[in-house]
Structure 1
């Protein structure tokens, strides 16, 4: 073999070995999930410097129209951290939300706004994307006497209707879903504590179920391990049972519903969280870090954590490429993890 052919042969062999090595390395990366909803885990996605931009509880995340990932934490050194999808920190703001909990993005005639709930200050805020407060909603002490004092109002989540109406889930308070107009005037409420299916216990999250009908609300009933579908005026339509899963807010993208499972319901099972994914028919099709969904005679069997990749996952953000970002509560002040869709 002459020198030229030898060099070509050696280059091809080295290139083939490199490709094989890369494929082998990729294949070694652990994959989580079931039924083609599969993900690899990146626990070091965030490139934020913890000494400069610390987090406490990472509560919720959204993606804006620019593609940025926005995180809410109850760390008042920087309540809002803004990233690109690769984990680079782009901006921070906010010192006013010691109980920053719920983060909702709403596009109003082409302009995006953030809605923030604060469980310590017992308030809900509408803010510009750079943090200017435009509206504050206080405890609804005029709501026919159902609230006697401001401390009974502990809002955890909001969703905004196309007409500007604001639905607030009082998930750590009196367990009502309250409907306000866009000026912050109370219009209606439903739910509240009680033993009936129409009542709520830890109404942690709320969204419009765009998979089926924009006029339907999905509300979390975390203590009872389920989501409940209501009409906008509060008529109960369906209970979606999720045994073994204390679910946080429902997140819709396309035909799928995603939710962080804070823990399994046994109070001794702290640190037992995972992420669950449902299809359009509300059938669980995948769990990330959790057991394979199993149905017997159409009934979902209790789910549980199988991989110790999360402690207390609190929210899931789904980006345009169907990757997931998971924020965690009481988990050692860790930054969000990224789950890349396989």
Structure 2
């Protein structure tokens, strides 16, 4: 190809790309908010939240989590790293080094006046702790050989932290043991095993500290347990307490605010429970069986107010919800609590 033709081809491609991006941005601007839920758990979507000015996703493929710091900034983990959004939806920072990739689950904690993010890195077979300001990694939690289990595979999916600093790391994609470490990373104990019995886990996928009760306890998503997904309570010492609720589809994670808990279901909805663990509201239900639980719903096929593979959620101080889909294009949504 001669030089003039190469220039014209480049100019043509640039022009087409600009037109398509402009049309995409215009299409996003035409999308109207969708109201979802019911009663005191009613929300309005924020169309285009988290997208770039050209209307495309900012973050790439997502198989992760969401947390919010004390300043109100929203952190979501994607395959290529952690992205930090302002409440208005602009990316204001990112952590893209190898340590921050593929964080399947995150928890955020304030300790002695400083905030830290704890993450479960399933592809990297470890838990991790790093500073919110600066990103310095201060702790790693590999498979604890001192447990004596001799596992051939370690694939953590969830992490949470008790008030005394003990860290719980769920091996949800492998043995389904939940490992307990002290605040310095010393192995203390483990509990649970793979299976479909009352005190067994069939994919202990998500987990958080359930602060709705005293003493606090662990709330664990047993994603593939029959009948079709459940939440269970365990004590902080690893003792089974109760089966909380069943029939939730494929619950992936749990986030607490006050007396309420949001439970993303991989089939494409978010269920909200109250302190009695009664269903208060169902958000974004996807009635299309081909899209529910599908990773490959492209951005052009997203439907406002309808989810596909809900994987993570988190509440801000105003009661708004941020929801992440398991999605090849990278989807995170803001749901504003209706007054």
With normalisation by structure 1, the TM-score equals 0.78
Give matches, 1:265-304, under 5 Å. Answer: 273-290=268-285
Counterpart Cα distance in 2 of 1:308 and 1:256: 21
**How many residues matched?**
287
Consecutive unaligned residues in structure 1, runs of 5 or more? 1-27, 264-272, 292-303
Q: Deviations over 1:121-148 (max 9, x none)?
A: 1011110112111111111233122x33
Q: Is the 8 A contact 2:121 2:156 kept in 1?
A: yes
**Alpha carbons of 1:184 and 1:244: their partners in 2 closer, same or farther (altered >3 Å)?**
closer
Give matches, 1:241-280, under 5 Å. Answer: 241-263=245-267, 273-280=268-275
**Alpha carbons of 1:58 and 1:84: their partners in 2 closer, same or farther (altered >3 Å)?**
farther
What root-mean-square deviation, in Å, do the aligned CA atoms of Structure 1 and Structure 2 show?
2.3
Q: Deviations over 1:131-188 (max 9, x none)?
A: 111111111233122x333xx2111111112221111111112101110011211101
**Alpha carbons of 1:86 and 1:308: their partners in 2 closer, same or farther (altered >3 Å)?**
closer
Counterpart Cα distance in 1 of 2:218 and 2:208: 6
Counterpart Cα distance in 2 of 1:213 and 1:32: 32
Q: 1:208: how far off?
A: 1.6
Counterpart Cα distance in 1 of 2:45 and 2:63: 18
Q: Corresponding residue for 1:161?
A: 162
Consecutive unaligned residues in structure 2, runs of 5 or more? 1-31, 287-291, 294-303
Q: 1:198: how far off?
A: 1.1
| Corresponding residue SS for 2:104 | strand
Moved over 3 A (4+): 47-54
Q: 1:234: how far off?
A: 1.5
Q: Corresponding residue for 2:49?
A: 45
Instruction: Work out which of the residue numbers 322, 326, 329 in structure 2 matches 1:325.
Output: 322
Counterpart Cα distance in 2 of 1:202 and 1:124: 17
Q: Deviations over 1:11-47 (max 9, x none)?
A: xxxxxxxxxxxxxxxxx85311123311112241004
With normalisation by structure 2, the TM-score equals 0.79
Counterpart Cα distance in 2 of 1:312 and 1:108: 33
Q: Is the 8 A contact 1:98 1:120 kept in 2?
A: no
Matched, 1:94 2:102: no
**Alpha carbons of 1:237 and 1:312: their partners in 2 closer, same or farther (altered >3 Å)?**
same
Q: Is the 8 A contact 2:77 2:102 kept in 1?
A: no
Counterpart Cα distance in 2 of 1:176 and 1:162: 21
Counterpart Cα distance in 2 of 1:182 and 1:212: 22
Instruction: Work out which of the residue numbers 230, 234, 240 in structure 2 matches 1:230.
Output: 234
